[in-house]
A and B are shown apart, each in its own frame.
Chain A
Amino acid sequence: MSPFKDGVKGALPIVLGYLPVGITFGILARKAGLTSFEVGLMSLFVYAGASQFLAIEMISKGVPNFSIILATFFINLRHILMSSNFSVYLRDVRIPILGVLSAQITDESYAVAISKLPRMKNRPHYLLGLQIISQLAWVGGSVMGALFSSLSTSTGWGLPFALPALFICLLVLQIINAHHFWVMVIGGILSVFFKWALPGNWYILLTALFASGMGMMIEKVWRKNS
């Protein structure tokens, strides 16, 4: 089997994961006021699930663009680690190809590709196949969701809770150790307080900065005491 086809095959579990979440994104983004074209454009150019959901939540709350972009930047800085890891194996690949490969890095594609890394040396075809199919599923799913939602006018069936439920699951998936748990508790209390105390939507970014800072402090103190 050619490496490209091998990559396509490796993408199948990712496709199964991305399609339904993409459809959900498309439906909810339309509800937040984006056009189907804007939905497709965002999935194509941003291609970062959590921050896209976060963005439409913030858009519907009237958060200014600058705050949304800043939050997006911080959430996706972690890709630096994955990109650096890939770079070791792709040193002689031309820059335009690297541009395509890097733009399509996701947690999932990284997780799938990492077992193949040593055999991938300067032969990007496996990664290309894996990631092109994955992004196709994401863009296709979100456009399908966007078009489907414009056909249906129903707001029932628990749809108002779709996004909160998704965020709860994304939050729970991030809780890896006790530090994360306490950051969640601190963030929960702070955010409710800030939302009550401050005008507009500053509570999101302020809580994020404060609570992650507290996380660093907790880590330092616990390490000293153990």
Chain B
Amino acid sequence: MREPMLILIFGMGLVTFLPRFIPMAFLSRWIFPEKLKAGLNYFPVAILSAIVFPTFFTGGNQVEIQPQYLLASLPVFLFAWKVKSLWGSVLLGMAVYWALGFVM
């Protein structure tokens, strides 16, 4: 087993365990700092945007649209918004992407 991967897994494990454990173990009533709460409110949206949108473009010095990714994403956005199903979104996305492969 590779050591950097082990460090990553236990590092991730530690930083997910502490916020779960500390309040339950040591606090009966915890007043969450309002500012931090407001910032955390937007962090998942922000980081997921940073993951999703650059996949529609090629990297490197020239920014070019990747049409197969962009087109396949449109029905997934719509489906996820209307149906809110993780598994369904993945299956739909794979099917559309696969189908687009024949025409593009």
Taking Cβ atoms with an 8 Å cutoff, the residues of A that contact B are 17, 20-21, 24, 34-35, 37-38, 41-42, 45-48, 50-52, 54-55, 57, 59, 65, 68-69, 71-84, 86-88, 90-91, 95, 98-99, 101-103, 105, 156-162, 164-175, 179-180, 183-184, 186-192, 194-196, 203-205, 207-216, 219
Q: A-facing mask of B72-98, CB < 8 A → 1, else 0?
A: 110011011100111101101111111
Q: Would you call B57 and A192 a contact (CB within 8 A)?
A: yes
- 27 sampled A-B residue pairs with Cβ under 8 A: A24-B87, A24-B90, A35-B1, A45-B12, A46-B12, A50-B48, A77-B40, A79-B19, A79-B20, A83-B23, A83-B24, A87-B28, A102-B21, A158-B99, A161-B93, A169-B76, A173-B84, A187-B45, A187-B48, A195-B57, A203-B54, A208-B50, A209-B46, A210-B46, A212-B47, A215-B41, A215-B42
Q: Would you call A17 and B86 a contact (CB within 8 A)?
A: yes
Taking Cβ atoms with an 8 Å cutoff, the residues of B that contact A are 1, 4-5, 7-13, 15-17, 19-25, 27-30, 32, 35-36, 38-55, 57, 59, 61, 63, 69, 72-73, 76-77, 79-81, 84-87, 89-90, 92-99, 101
- What is the minimal beta-carbon distance from A69 to any residue of chain B, in angstroms? 4
Given A75-B43, A88-B29, CB of A54 within 8 Å of CB of B51: yes
Complex: A211 Cα to B80 Cα, angstroms: 22
Interface of B is mostly: helix
